[in-house]
Each structure stands twice: as structure tokens, then as C-alpha cells.
């Protein structure tokens, strides 16, 4: 059974001047001594943002790869290892399934195997759900804003339009003439198939289903 430590700073400057790696490591060593443990290897992450998932960090991914059942990981603070509750939950579940203990000193010790664990998982689950909601809201707001500004959001470009140089939808002159023809024929009571055939005769590739979609937007 091995004992590992994990420490991180988000910028190279912090590694020397801020919440130094040395201070974090001394805290880990002091905690390990109190728990009658000896740290076998220190995983030190320099200049890496906490927003990067642990599995995508150089030292973090290596740590997750080397741990075995019965091993212990010690980190000085929750935010040294995680900034995303979703990432924390994923890693904690992975470690628990492997039988690996994770000790977060600022949370009082082992968060995978004692009374703290249930509370930590409950809090992280709630925070992770809130994170997902915020992400969905941001994406929805961005899409609404882009749609309001007639921005192209990907997928099939609507008939009658093309993507402009600024990424917005601008009218396709020739196709707009076809759209005008569709409206005229629809007003005259023509069926969708007849309208489609008339537009196809002008050189446009569009089905009666496509005609229905175009007329539905008008």
C-alpha cells in the first residue's frame, strides 16, 4: 500500500511566490506524520488551472493511473485538486471503486471512507447539479442572443439564406426569389408538391417537405 500526495499551483509565478508548492508539501508531510504515514511519492502540478479536469493534467492523470487498491492520496485543500464539483464527483467515485482513500486536509481527512464522505458527496452533487444548470442556462442564453442577431448556429442553412462573412445569416438573392414564388403559389392555393415542382423547374433542389418548412417560417 502506497501513499501519494498531490499539490498544484495555477501559475508558474505562484509556484515561487504565491501559495507555494513548498508550503503545500510541508502541510501534507505534517498531516502524514500525524496519521503515521510516509509519503512515497509527491505529484506536483505546476502552472495548471484547476478548471482542467484531473484526468487531463499531466501529474493528475499519472496519479490516477498508478494508484492501486489500498493506496492513499493526500492533498492539502479541495481546490488544489478540484475546482469543478462534477470532476470531483467523477474522480471520487473512481477512487472509491478502486479502493483508494483520498484525504483532503482542509475537510478533516479521508473523504472516501469515513463520516465526512457522505456529507462531501451530498454537497458536491448539489454543486455539480448547479454547475450543469448554469452551463445549460449560459448555452441557452447565447443561442437566444445569436438567434436574435440572426447568427448561424450550425446545422443545415435555411433555404433562402447563406452564411455571411461575419457568421450571420444573410439572404440568398436567388433563393429568396424562389421563396417569393412559393408564397405566390401558396396564395393561389397550389399544393406543396406542385409548388416544389415549380421551384425545381427553376433549378432549385427542394422537396415538398422543404417547401413546407420554408413556408412555415414565414
- For 58-78, the DSSP string reads HHHHHHHHH--TT-EEEES-H
Residue 86 buriedness (CB in 10 A; 0-12 / 13-18 / 19+) = middle
Report which of 148, 97, 38 is spatially closest to residue 89, judged by C-alpha positions.
97
How far CA 12 is from CA of 18, 48, 124, 168, in Å, comes to 9, 8, 29, 40
158 against 140, higher pLDDT: 158
Q: What does the pLDDT average to over 146-172? A: 71
Count of beta carbons in the 10 Å neighbourhood of residue 17: 10
pLDDT of residue 183: 93
pLDDT at 14 over 80: no
- The pTM of this model reads 0.56
5, 10, 84, 101: the catalytic one is: 10
The reply to whether 10 belongs to the active site is yes
Q: Are strands 41-45 and 3-8 parallel, antiparallel or unpaired?
A: parallel
d(CA 71, CA 6): 13
Cβ atoms of 119 and 92 closer than 8 Å: no
Per-residue pLDDT, averaged over 127-136, amounts to: 67
Amino acid at each position: 500500500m502506497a501513499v501519494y500526495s498531490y499539490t498544484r499551483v495555477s501559475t508558474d509565478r505562484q509556484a515561487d511566490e504565491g501559495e507555494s508548492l513548498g508550503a503545500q508539501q510541508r502541510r501534507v508531510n505534517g498531516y502524514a506524520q500525524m496519521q503515521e504515514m510516509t509519503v512515497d511519492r509527491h505529484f506536483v502540478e505546476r502552472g495548471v488551472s484547476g478548471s482542467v479536469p484531473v484526468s487531463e493534467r499531466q501529474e493528475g492523470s499519472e496519479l490516477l493511473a498508478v494508484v492501486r487498491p489500498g493506496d492513499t492520496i493526500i492533498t492539502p485543500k479541495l481546490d488544489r485538486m478540484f475546482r469543478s464539483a462534477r470532476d470531483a464527483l467523477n474522480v471520487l467515485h473512481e477512487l472509491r471503486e478502486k479502493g483508494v482513500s483520498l484525504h483532503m486536509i482542509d475537510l478533516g481527512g479521508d473523504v472516501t471512507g469515513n463520516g465526512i464522505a457522505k456529507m462531501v458527496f451530498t454537497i458536491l452533487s448539489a454543486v455539480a447539479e448547479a454547475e450543469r444548470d448554469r452551463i445549460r442556462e449560459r448555452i441557452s442564453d447565447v443561442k437566444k442572443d445569436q438567434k436574435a442577431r440572426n447568427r448561424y448556429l450550425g446545422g443545415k442553412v435555411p433555404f433562402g439564406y447563406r452564411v455571411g462573412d461575419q457568421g450571420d445569416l444573410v439572404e440568398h438573392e436567388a433563393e429568396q426569389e424562389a421563396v417569393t414564388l412559393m408564397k405566390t403559389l401558396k396564395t393561389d392555393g397550389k399544393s406543396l408538391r406542385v409548388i416544389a415542382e415549380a421551384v425545381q423547374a427553376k433549378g432549385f433542389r427542394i422537396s415538398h417537405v422543404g417547401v413546407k418548412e420554408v413556408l412555415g417560417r414565414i
